[in-house]
Amino acid sequence: MNQKFKKHQMMKKILTLAFVVMALTPAFAQGGATAISNAANDIKDYWDPIKLILKAVGGLVGFIGGLRVYNKWTNGDQDVNKEILGYGGAMIFLLVVPEFVTAFFA
């Protein structure tokens, strides 16, 4: 009988704790939504300068890639196509990703 009583008491404590947690969850969720909203607004504020930096890096990668491709082409290397695809893909990635992120946060 004593062990049954202990189980019953333990179950009461667990249920009480569960109800308290369920009651406090909406209050915590509202704070989290506010934090996410604030973070999104901060990202919107900083995004235009970051976008310009990414475009500048994309242009620099394209310029360096163009020089390397030209150098390999004039030397007669066989892997010019790999070089074009590698640097071209990196440049396109650096130029297209900011536009997708802008559309996501707009």
Q: Over the stretch 91-104, which tens digit does the pLDDT of each residue have? A: 888 888 888 877 87
Predicted pLDDT of residue 62? 82
Within-domain flag for 16: no
Q: Which of 26-30, 31-35, 77-81 is least confident?
A: 26-30
Mean pLDDT of the chain: 78
Given a cut of 70, is residue 59 above it in pLDDT? yes
Q: Which residue range is the domain that position 60 belongs to?
A: 41-106
Predicted pLDDT of residue 19? 65
What's the domain count of the chain? 1
Furthest C-alpha separation in the chain: 93
Q: Please, which pLDDT band fits residue 30 given cuts at 50, 70 and 90?
A: low
Within-domain flag for 49: yes
Q: CB-side exposure of 63: number of CA atoms within 13 Å?
A: 6
Within-domain flag for 86: yes
Within-domain flag for 32: no
Within-domain flag for 4: no
Within-domain flag for 75: yes
Given a cut of 60, is residue 75 above it in pLDDT? yes
